[in-house]
C-alpha cells in the first residue's frame, strides 16, 4: 500500500507562516505532504515571499480551484466543495487534512474533509476571545473547526483548558504556537536588535471597519505629540487603504514581507495592533504591544505584562497608547509562553 499522505490546506499569510514548520517537521520524519492553496489573500501572499522558506512553501502550493468571494461564509462553502471533490480524486491513502487557525479557508477545509470521512488536525486549536463577534467571523469558525477535528493542537495551557471545558478531553496536545517556530527562522533569537525610535502600526480587523477611519485619525493626532516615527504597513483591503489617506504623522507604507515585518517588529519601540499573531510575535520578541481591542484571544500576552488592551474607542485608545509610550509599563523581556520554536516537531510526532 502507498504511504498515506497528509493534505495541508491554507489560503492566507498567517496560515502559510504557521503551517510551514509542520510541513517541514513531517517531511523530516519521512511523511508525505500535499499542500493545497485557496489564495484567500493573494496580494499579501505575494508580498510575503521575502524569506527562502516562504518562497519554497508557496512554490509547492497546488491550487484548490476556489473562486474568492468577499463573504466569508460563502467562500468557506466553496472551499468545502472543492476540497471534498479533490480528496475524492486522490488515489492513495489519506492520513488526514491539516488546517490552521480560524480563516474561511480552514473552516471550509474542515467541512470538506468531514464530508468525505477524512480526519482533521487543527493547528492552533482552542484559541478563544469569548466574544462571538470579536473577532468575527473567526471566533465562530475556530469553535466549529474544533468540533470537527480529531487532533487538537493547542498552543498554550489556557487553550487546552478551553477545549477541555468544551468536551475535547483526550484529543488535545499542548505544543506551543508554530508561528514562533518560523519567527526564529527569520529573526536570530540569540541577538536582540537595537531598539529604534519607531512605533509600528498594524490595523485590519473586520469588526473595526466601521470606525477604522476614526481610530486612525486619533492615532495620527497622537503620533504628532511624540518624537517617534510611526510606520504603518497598510493592508490591501479598500476599507483600510481609505483609512490610511491624508495622514500627517503616521507614514503609510505598502505591505511588508514576512521577514521584513518581523525585523521591523523586533526593533520597534512599541507596536499598535489588532492582530492576534502580532500579539504572539511581539511578546516572543519582547516588544511592548498596545492592542486596539476590548477583548483578546491571546490573554497570555496581557497576563504576562507584554500587552495592554487599549479598547476600540478611537480617542481612548490613542490616549492609552501615548500614556504607555511615556510610562513604559510593559515588559521588554522575551516571553516563551507562546512557544519555544519546536511546536512543529511536537505536532509531527503526534501525527506520525
How many beta carbons lie within 10 A of that of residue 93, not counting itself? 11
The range of the structural domain enclosing residue 176 comes to 5-186+339-351
On whether both 286 and 233 belong to a single domain, the answer is yes
Q: Please report the pLDDT score of residue 133 as a whole number.
A: 81
Q: Which of 116, 290, 133 is nearest to 219 (CA)?
A: 290
On whether both 173 and 207 belong to a single domain, the answer is no
The strand pairing partners of 5, in sequence order, are 32, 94
On whether both 174 and 286 belong to a single domain, the answer is no
Q: Across all residues in the chain, what is the average pLDDT? A: 92
Where residue 47 falls among pLDDT bands split at 50, 70, 90?
A: low
Alpha-helical (H) ranges within 244-275 are 258-266
SS3 196: coil
Transcribe 106-134 into DSSP letters: HHHHHHHHHHTT--EEEETTT---S-TTT
Phi (first) and psi of residue 127, to 5 degrees: -70, 130
Q: Is residue 142 part of a domain?
A: yes
Average pLDDT over residues 26-39: 94
On whether both 317 and 176 belong to a single domain, the answer is no
On whether both 158 and 19 belong to a single domain, the answer is yes
Name the domain count of the chain: 2
Highest mean pLDDT among 131-145, 238-252, 312-326: 312-326
pLDDT for residue 50 is more than 90: no
On whether both 119 and 220 belong to a single domain, the answer is no
Copy the grid coordinates of residue 79: 472551499
Q: 212 versus 231: which is more confidently predicted?
A: 231
Between CA 121 and CA 123 the distance in angstroms is 6
Q: Is the peptide bond before 59 cis (omega within 30 degrees of 0)?
A: no
Q: Is residue 315 part of a domain?
A: yes
On whether both 12 and 96 belong to a single domain, the answer is yes
Q: Please report the pLDDT score of residue 43 as a whole number.
A: 64
Residue 206 DSSP symbol = G
Q: Which of 48, 68, 67, 66 is nearest to 58 (CA)?
A: 48
Average pLDDT over residues 230-238: 89
pLDDT for residue 327 is more than 90: yes
On whether both 137 and 255 belong to a single domain, the answer is no
Residue 204 DSSP symbol = -
On whether both 132 and 207 belong to a single domain, the answer is no
Q: What is the CA radius of gyration of the chain?
A: 20
Average pLDDT over residues 261-271: 97
Q: Is the peptide bond before 245 cis (omega within 30 degrees of 0)?
A: no
SS3 108: helix
Q: Spell out where 64-165 has E strands.
A: 94-100, 120-123, 151-154
Q: Is residue 251 part of a domain?
A: yes
Q: Determine if residue 169 is left, alpha or beta; phi over 0 gives left, psi from -120 to 50 gives alpha, anything else beta.
A: alpha
How many beta carbons lie within 10 A of that of residue 327, not counting itself? 8
On whether both 114 and 61 belong to a single domain, the answer is yes
Residue 185 DSSP symbol = H
Average pLDDT over residues 216-222: 95
Highest mean pLDDT among 95-109, 162-176, 204-218: 95-109
Q: Is residue 333 part of a domain?
A: no
Q: Which of 95, 67, 94, 92 is nearest to 82 (CA)?
A: 67
Q: Is residue 26 part of a domain?
A: yes
pLDDT tens profile 274-310: 999 999 999 999 999 999 999 999 999 999 999 999 9
On whether both 179 and 152 belong to a single domain, the answer is yes
On whether both 164 and 307 belong to a single domain, the answer is no
Q: Is residue 167 part of a domain?
A: yes
Between CA 18 and CA 15 the distance in angstroms is 5
Q: Is residue 192 part of a domain?
A: no
pLDDT for residue 350 is more than 50: yes
Angle at 99 between CA 82 and CA 312, to 5 degrees: 105
Q: What is the CATH number of the domain that holds 319?
A: 3.40.50.2000
141, 122 in Cβ contact below 8 A? no
Q: Please report the pLDDT score of residue 299 as a whole number.
A: 95
Which DSSP helix (H) or strand (E) runs through 37?
Answer: strand 32-37
Copy the grid coordinates of residue 293: 481591542
Q: Is residue 334 part of a domain?
A: no
pLDDT tens profile 88-144: 999 989 999 999 999 999 999 999 999 999 999 999 999 999 888 888 889 999 999
Where residue 1 falls among pLDDT bands split at 50, 70, 90?
A: very low
Q: Please report the pLDDT score of residue 39 as a whole number.
A: 75
Between CA 131 and CA 277 the distance in angstroms is 18
b/e per residue 96-106 (b: at least 16 CB within 10 A)? bbbbbbbbbbb
142, 159 in Cβ contact below 8 A? no
Query: Residue 139, Cα to own-chain centre: how many angstroms?
Result: 13
Amino acid at each position: 500500500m502507498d504511504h498515506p499522505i497528509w493534505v495541508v490546506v491554507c489560503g492566507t499569510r498567517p496560515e502559510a507562516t504557521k503551517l510551514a514548520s509542520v510541513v517541514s517537521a513531517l517531511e523530516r520524519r519521512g511523511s508525505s505532504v500535499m499542500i493545497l492553496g485557496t489564495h484567500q489573500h493573494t496580494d499579501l501572499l505575494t508580498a510575503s515571499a521575502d524569506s527562502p522558506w516562504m518562497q519554497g512553501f508557496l512554490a509547492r502550493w497546488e491550487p484548490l480551484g476556489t473562486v474568492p468571494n468577499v463573504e466569508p461564509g460563502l467562500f468557506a462553502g466553496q472551499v468545502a466543495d472543492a476540497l471534498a471533490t479533490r480528496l475524492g480524486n486522490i488515489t492513495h491513502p489519506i492520513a488526514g487534512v491539516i488546517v490552521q487557525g480560524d480563516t474561511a479557508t480552514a473552516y471550509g477545509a474542515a467541512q470538506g474533509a468531514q464530508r468525505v470521512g477524512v480526519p482533521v488536525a487543527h493547528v492552533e486549536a482552542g484559541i478563544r476571545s469569548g466574544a462571538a463577534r470579536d473577532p468575527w467571523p473567526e471566533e465562530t469558525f475556530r469553535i466549529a473547526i474544533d468540533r470537527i477535528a480529531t487532533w487538537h493542537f493547542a498552543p498554550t495551557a489556557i487553550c487546552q483548558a478551553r477545549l477541555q471545558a468544551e468536551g475535547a478531553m483526550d484529543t488535545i496536545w499542548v505544543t506551543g504556537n508554530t508561528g514562533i517556530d518560523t519567527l526564529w527562522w527569520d529573526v536570530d533569537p540569540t541577538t536582540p536588535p537595537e531598539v529604534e525610535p519607531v512605533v509600528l502600526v498594524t490595523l485590519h480587523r473586520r469588526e473595526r471597519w466601521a470606525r477604522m477611519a476614526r481610530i486612525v485619525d486619533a492615532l495620527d493626532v497622537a503620533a504628532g505629540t511624540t518624537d517617534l516615527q510611526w510606520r504603518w504597513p497598510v493592508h490591501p483591503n479598500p476599507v483600510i487603504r481609505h483609512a490610511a489617506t491624508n495622514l500627517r504623522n503616521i507614514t503609510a507604507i505598502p505591505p511588508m514581507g514576512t521577514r521584513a515585518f518581523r525585523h521591523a517588529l523586533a526593533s520597534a519601540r512599541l507596536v499598535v495592533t489588532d492582530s492576534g499573531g502580532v500579539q504572539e510575535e511581539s511578546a516572543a520578541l519582547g516588544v511592548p504591544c498596545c492592542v486596539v481591542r476590548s477583548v483578546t484571544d491571546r490573554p497570555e500576552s496581557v497576563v504576562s505584562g507584554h500587552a495592554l488592551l487599549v479598547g476600540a474607542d478611537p480617542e481612548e485608545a490613542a490616549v492609552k497608547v501615548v500614556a504607555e509610550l511615556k510610562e513604559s509599563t510593559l515588559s521588554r523581556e522575551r516571553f516563551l509562553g507562546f512557544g519555544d520554536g519546536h511546536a512543529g516537531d511536537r505536532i509531527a510526532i503526534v501525527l506520525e
